[in-house]
Structure 1
Amino acid sequence: MTKAIVINETGGPEVMTWTDVTVGDPGEGQARVRNTAIGLNFIDVYFRQGIFPLPSMPGILGAEAAGVVEAVGEGVDYLNVGDRVVYSAGFGSYSEERLIAADRLIRIPDGIDDVQAAGSFSKGTTAEFLLLRAWPHNVEKGGKILVQAAAGGVGSILCQWATHLGAEVIGTVGSAAKAEIAKANGCSHVINYSEENFVERVKEITDGAGVPVVFDAVGKDTFEGSLDCLSPRGFLINFGTASGPPPMVDPTQLMLKGSLYVTRASLLHYNAARSDLQASADALFDVMLSGGVKVDVANTYALKDAAQAHKDLATRKLTGSTVLLP
């Protein structure tokens, strides 16, 4: 039998159980994958809590993993048994084996191991679309941008990638230890918002001009301040709610603050088409292989201990990427 982390109801980490499940043969357009490394993401907590609904109960959490193709179904002619693949799609990655739509699987290139792939794929493709597609401008050499939670999973990759492209990155963090991580990620300026007013510091760093874009995964606690850090016609790109959902947006206030733009961006929409998914993965793998982005898989847990990993993630004890090992 295959083991998986199953929930029968939403709630705290205690609803996660280590359970036997049955994995059948792949149907048309599917593949069966033996997971070798499973990515932990904050959105997994949202689904466990019921903030976002799972399609059915009981359910298996998790969307991201790397593994090996064990079998393919009819109509799948672009994958072979034995291929190393990575994915971030649907539900069910908290399992030793699973079935998945084959068109969501991306081959892992030589030079990147399974743990690196699982620890970077959803975070790295998120950083790709945020930096290169969600913001409708190119990163300018020397241009200043603000990244909230610069020591987090996406933030760590986003800061490195933006620095690699020549940006001057201002990163915010919540502790002195995370400030050191943000510096290592290439941030030119690091603001510890538990000790400093980040809006005032951004205005100081930019000589009062503000920044053209803020990437914000924190949500409620930083949202209003992020708006106040923007220059006229600036973009606030929210992509997470670690501190809770942000407040409702009053369009008149956006006008009064400088004709600002706000979006809540999702990887689900930006990489819905396989062509976009493959292009995003290619860009990520290229920048990793070039050394422009280094993935720090700082934490590993046994898959059966996923509940403890969720507890540590929710209390912000974890930095960088975290991987569950079957």
Structure 2
Amino acid sequence: MPRQDNLSGSNSEDSDPSVFFLTGIPGLEAMHLWISIPFCSVFTVGLLGNCTLLYVIKTEPSLHQPMYYFLTMLAVINLVVPTTIMPKLLSIFWFNSREISFTGCLVQMFFLYSFASMESCVLVAMAFDRYVAICNPLRYATILTNSVIAKIGLAAFTRAVLLTSPVLFLLRRLPFCQSHIISHSFCEHMAVVKLACASTNLNNIYGIFISLFINGLDLTLISLSYVRILRTVFSLASKEEQLKAFSTCVSHFCAISMAYTPMVVTTIIHRFGHQVAPHVHILMANIYFLLPPMMNPIVYGVKTKQIRDKVLLLFQGKNF
């Protein structure tokens, strides 16, 4: 098989510390071309959906509100994250182009993890937006001003950069004197760390700390927001008011579920599923980064009347 020859031939270049080789989906190399079809479809739908969402929010004055500013941030993140990994992944699937420089690997890792961290922070901000809208509706406009929204966005970016940068510095200090074949479809942190021929305890500890800090803190804040929201909703007099209040949170709750469910499943499989095949781990990791960017614009487009109506008008206008 030419794929195997290429991969085995790459061992002769393992002495070059600046070059690494991605394997794609280990164990499923013969099916790479077929696997690329759903991957490319999901990627394309995500790009079109998020670009459409950004255009609709920009051109529709009624959507120039805090909730949709946060949605704009989420859409931008949902464009960057899959674009960070998919071009290289598709080049592996279609052209067997596995080579990636160590610098390119670090750049991919930085964008992937920093923007994933920003996504989590934006979801917290959106939970806060729903909390203010439901629990303090009369102060909504005074609390969530454009200045406050900009500061939240800056805080999300700053936190992401400050927490992700040490990962890169810790990796750069490691010597890679053995195999340079990364058993993954992208430069996943632990897959690269495993190739080092020195102690990686600090890398492992920091990776676990970042995962627990970001996911633990953000999920706690989201949960606290929804506890307060539920208390307020259940205190409303009529069922109609309760349903109306709940309906404003459905899209955000779906976004949270899509962002955190694959992450939780991936973590459980990674920590406890030692008998699970490697390709399952890698497929789940890709789903974690590709599924939410595709589904978020669909969910918000279906559940938000202003967005739905604007999209329908947009496509109807093209038909005439």
TM bucket (normalised to shorter chain) is under 0.3
Greater RCO (CA < 8 Å, at least 6 residues apart)? 2
More strand by share: 1
TM-score computed with the length of structure 1 as normaliser = 0.23
Work out which of the two has the higher radius of gyration on C-alpha atoms and give 1 or 2. 2
More helix by share: 2
